[in-house]
Amino acid sequence: MASSPTSFSDRLLGASKPERRLARSLYESVTNLPIVSPHGHVPVELLADPEARLGPPGRLFVSGDHYVLRMLYSQGIRLEELGVAPLDGGPVESDDRKIWQRFTDNLELFAGTPSLLWMAATLANVFGIEKRLTSANARAVYDLLAERLQSADFAPRALLDRFAIEVLATTDAAESELESHRRLREDGWGERVRPTFRPDAVTALGSVSWSESLKRLELVCEREIGDYRAFVAALEERRGYFKTLGATASDHSVETVRTERLSETEAEAIFQRALRGEATQDEARRFEAHMLWEMARMSCEDGLVMQIRAGSMRDHNRGLKEHFGSDIGADIPVALDWTRGLQPLLAAHGDNPRLRLILSTLDESTYSRELAPLAGHYPAVLLGPPWWFHDSRNGIDRYLDSVSETAGFYNLAGFVDDARNLVAIPARHDVWRRVTCAWLARKVLLGSLDEENAARIASELACGLARKAYRLPNERGEISSRPSS
């Protein structure tokens, strides 16, 4: 890395010597703690196959990284040049070396972003490449990466051990057969790699792919779903099956926060119109709001932790969606109203000790205004960490500044990396640990915390709070209850 006032080993630990000294001490107490990764998108198929290897460097670090794609696209680089294939079968760059070179030729675009920080840390700590990546040395670095990625030491299961990943949760559609998770459990990996139940595709009646998703749900349940009651029963059955394979959580991604309880008659009427392709967008939104309420009810019964991630308008760039399909990084944050939106759900379930509701948002303006007060009052509510665009040094600082005084620390859910790239997970957790330790050091120096409390909180933020929030066993196999704050 380029020279800086602090060494690379002291990165993010503070600007002043007193802050850096104390932050380093806190960081050293947590750096070797195991990684708990209770929410992410690493393909489970990679972990289920003992012979699997991660993709070549261009696909791994460029084509599959939303942060990288959106930045390069914003500067006029076509996605086809980065290895993203159009739906119409048009030409796409297939030379992985060229994709990698195009990325490194434009590294200056990432100055000051977490992407460059994660990349540098991953190259140094995972691959042993400490020399700063440049356009000039890109070819040599590519060769080293490609060679190491093909070795047995870099097989996905080997990396779980090397990275000391205690738990890795994947995100799996409700209609998924979970064959890879079944294989992992048979091979003795089921306690470490767990599925997460995500029903979005079958609860979003307004989606153009809803009918196909419902058909897949029918196939895995081996039953016809011709009415609302059968639909709810199928989802309850799937949740139970997910739990047998180690799931401890469900995940719900919505653009806006709205919960509503429909009568069974209303829900049935909307469901029947959806089966005929006649449901309006307003009916679809009301049904989705109702299903959030229903999922909370199910969580009270089966104990799955309920995650709501809200505030992203998916596929904002309609032209890209039509050309490449969904999920290519053109998602933009929107403003939210958590207080009014969640009131019906919390009125019914907010005091239920069986419900664990973790809230994550892209709308930072709601941290201190709504989310911290909600988590600081309702026993069921926890705050998720800074998410997506805000998973950065400044974003973490803003988050802790906004929520800690109102919600405390024990109403937080710890850290989730939300990663798709397995080799990036250690860097993401390391940034979180460094920044939280620097933040705690500043509070000690200001007199807001004493060093003993800061050390304890640093450990909780590193992995303890995530274990408790997601009802995961600790290193002794114990499932900790959530302490009172």
SS3 per-residue string spanning 70-139: HHHHHCCCCHHHHCCCCCCCCCCCCCHHHHHHHHHCCHHHHCCCHHHHHHHHHHHHCCCCCCCCCCCCHH
User: What torsion do the CA atoms of 449, 452, 458, 459 make, to the nearest 10 degrees?
Assistant: -150
Q: What is the DSSP letter of 483?
A: P
Predicted local confidence at residue 326, as pLDDT: 86
Could you report the per-residue pLDDT of 7-52, keeping only the tens digit for each? Answer: 678 999 999 999 999 999 999 999 999 999 999 999 999 999 999 9
Q: What is the DSSP letter of 368?
A: I
Strand ranges inside 315-380, DSSP E: 332-333, 357-361
- Which residue in 96, 162, 103, 97 sits closest to 128, CA to CA? 162
Residue 4 scores a pLDDT above 50: no
CB 305 within 8 A of CB 249: yes
Mean pLDDT for the chain?
95
pTM for the model: 0.96
Could you report the per-residue pLDDT of 53-65, keeping only the tens digit for each? Answer: 998 999 999 999 9
Tokens of residue 216, six digits: 């897949």
Could you report the per-residue pLDDT of 175-198, keeping only the tens digit for each? Answer: 999 999 999 999 999 999 999 999
Centre a 10 Å sphere on the Cβ of residue 78 and count the other Cβ atoms it contains: 12
Residue 300 scores a pLDDT above 50: yes
Tokens of residue 39, six digits: 């929410």
Residue 249 scores a pLDDT above 70: yes
Q: How far apart are CA 393 and CA 444, in angstroms?
A: 19
Domains observed in the chain: 8-53+165-469 (3.20.20.140), 54-154 (1.10.2020.10)
- Which residue in 306, 364, 373 sits closest to 334, CA to CA? 364
- Which residue in 234, 362, 354 sits closest to 291, CA to CA? 234
CB 472 within 8 A of CB 36: yes
Over residues 228-252, the mean pLDDT reads 98
CB 310 within 8 A of CB 370: no
Predicted local confidence at residue 485, as pLDDT: 34
Residues 6+ apart with CB under 8 A from 97: 58, 139, 142
Could you report the per-residue pLDDT of 119-158, keeping only the tens digit for each? Answer: 999 999 999 999 999 999 999 999 999 999 999 999 999 9
